[in-house]
A and B are shown apart, each in its own frame.
Chain A
Amino acid sequence: MTDEIVVTGVGATTPLGGDVKSTWDAMLNGRSGVTAVPEDWPADMAVRIAARMAVEPADLLPRAQARRMDRAQQAAIVAADEAWADAGFVGTTLDNGLVPERVAVVIGTGIGGVGSLIAQHDVILERGPTKVSPMLIPMDMPNGPAAYVGLKIGARAGVFTPVSACASGAEAIAYGLDLLQLDRADLVVVGGTEALIHPLTISGFAQMRAMSTRNDDPTGASRPFDRDRDGFVIGEGAGALVLERRGDAEARGRPPYAVLAGAGITSDSHHITAPDPTGSGQQRAMRLAVSRSGLSPADVVHVNAHATSTPAGDMGEARAAAALFGEQIVVTATKSMTGHLIGAAGAVESIATVLTVRDDVVPPTINLQHPDDELCVDVPTQTRSMPVPAAICNSFGFGGHNASVLFRKA
């Protein structure tokens, strides 16, 4: 079947490492990327931990280019550069014999360049409107990361930005699959990016009582499925994947990592931020991904869970996965190590899922010392080697967004 959509390149910058290899090695070693926030932040902030990128993205870019970009844009460029090179490309679409009008970019983000927006708000208050940067709007606009990636590689089939909070990265992958299956592109760079670690954004999340306040134990704070979990830990970073048809990859002599076999997107229509406790929208997303892939639920042996370490969210997802796949399903929550990368989460976790499928190894869920009494699926706390013919990656977001993507062996 030459019309299968395959992953031929991956790239990431995360709290665990500045590329896919270092991130994946850290995951397999169960390492946490969570640290304390800078000491000069307001003393009365309830949350004083976060998972910053391990490598400053600006350090990897030409200085003049980096200063025009928001941190989320820098991260997206770093991840997309790695994925592009990993897929065997050097330079632009034209340099590689690709047709620019048949190459698209879909990079999601939860909130865009909020750091730049806040910084320029300080400028207008302190120095006046004539000192506001002419770069503010391009740095702040949520479509900026996708546009910069499209500009860099020369993509003219459209650059798109799903904005669906924490589901943005996975939705981007689902839309990339659509573009290829609808024959609107021959190659799509997909992914997600986020960089919103700032006292203001953290305070906003903290006021929702959504975040962990385990400030005295940063590496133990993100503990999905543990009975003592108390909220998510904010992270930042980006992930990118190159998608194309199997026949095109073969013609280029590029071995695929995995097949992107299906995707499902649903919405809860339940509450603006709370997940539907029945998990029905989440289950429908997974079911859609399975049915679109042509597989049956029995073929799916692993779920890289959205599980953010909030009291409400984790068990609903575990129940939904158990209901669809059975209680033997092997589930992991890599957010226990990376923290929650918001709009980048679905992309980075999809890369982990792709590598799990390729290498037959499931990264652990760390900090799971006392499993929740209601935990009804198999969650390894150590790296587990096992055959993984097919796996699902879930991402759910504020707004009631549910996105599931399904990868199977190439």
Chain B
Amino acid sequence: MPASPDEIRAGLAEILQEVADVSPEDVVDAKSFTDDLDVDSLSMVEVAMAAEEKFGVKIPDDELPKLKTVGDAVSFIQSNA
């Protein structure tokens, strides 16, 4: 069964805490990875690598820059997992 948006968001929160010390309560759809959560481009690659493993999804290189907010990532993972 595919993961629900809530499950994806919670999974991303775990990854973001591990990679960039982001508090789980800050991981809400409207937040921008770079502007709000202070995740730089190198850490975004790490987040994407971990998300690919966690959710069994492939995030192509040309898609990654489009995932600007937590909500963008949740929808991408949900539609592609």
Specify the chain A residue showing the minimal Cβ separation from B17: A64
Q: Contacts of B49 on A, CB cut-off 8 Å? A: 130-131, 134
Who on chain A is nearest to B19 by CB? A64
CB A72 to nearest CB in B, in angstroms, measures: 18
Q: Tell me which of A63, A133, A134, A138 contacts B21 (CB under 8 A).
A: A63
Number of B interface residues in the complex (CB < 8 A): 8
Using Cβ atoms and an 8 Å threshold, which residues of chain A touch B1?
A: none
B residues less than 8 Å from A134 (CB atoms): 42, 45-46, 49
Contact call A135/B21, Cβ cutoff below 8 A: no
How far does the alpha carbon of A133 sit from the alpha carbon of B46 in the complex, in Å?
Answer: 7
Q: Within 8 Å of chain B (Cβ to Cβ): is A42?
A: no
Verify if B10 is at the interface (C-beta below 8 Å from A): no
A63–B22 alpha-carbon span in the complex (Å): 11
Taking CB atoms, residues of chain A closer than 8 Å to B42 are 68, 134-135, 138
B20 sits at the interface (CB 8 A): yes
- Size bracket of the A interface: 10 to 19
Task: Return B53 CB to nearest CB of chain A, in Å.
Answer: 9
B21 (CB) vs chain A CBs: closest residue:
A64
Could you say which residues of chain B place their CB within 8 Å of the CB of A253? none
Asked whether A294 is an interface residue with its Cβ less than 8 Å from the other chain, the reply is no
Residue A38 lies at the interface, judged by CB distance under 8 Å to chain B: no
Residue of A nearest to B16 (CB): A64
**Contacts of B45 on A, CB cut-off 8 Å?**
134
Point out the residues of chain B lying under 8 angstroms from A138, CB to CB: 42
A:103-161 near B, CB below 8 Å: 130-131, 133-135, 138
A62 close to chain B: CB less than 8 A? yes
The closest CB in chain A to the CB of B52 belongs to A130
Nearest chain A CB to B54 CB, angstrom units: 14
CB-defined contacts of B20 to chain A, threshold 8 Å: 64
Separation of A62 and B38 alpha carbons in the complex (Å): 14
Q: What 0/1 pattern do residues 6 to 43 of B give for CB contact below 8 A with A? A: 00000000000001110000000000000000000011
CA distance A133 to B21 in the complex (A): 17
Taking the nearest CB of chain A, how far is it from the CB of B18, in angstroms? 8
CB contacts (< 8 Å) of A65 on chain B: these are 21
In whole angstroms, what is the CA distance A237 to B17 when docked?
28
Closest CB in chain A relative to B57 CB, distance in Å: 14
Query: How far, in whole Å, are A64 and B49 apart by their CA atoms in the complex?
Result: 17
Tell me the minimal C-beta distance from B6 to chain A in angstroms. 24
Residues in A whose Cβ lies below 8 Å from that of B43 = 68
User: Which A residues lie at the B interface, using CB under 8 A?
Assistant: 62-65, 67-68, 130-131, 133-135, 138
Given A63-B21, A64-B21, 10 extra CB contacts under 8 A: A62-B21, A64-B19, A68-B43, A130-B49, A131-B49, A134-B45, A134-B46, A134-B49, A135-B42, A135-B46
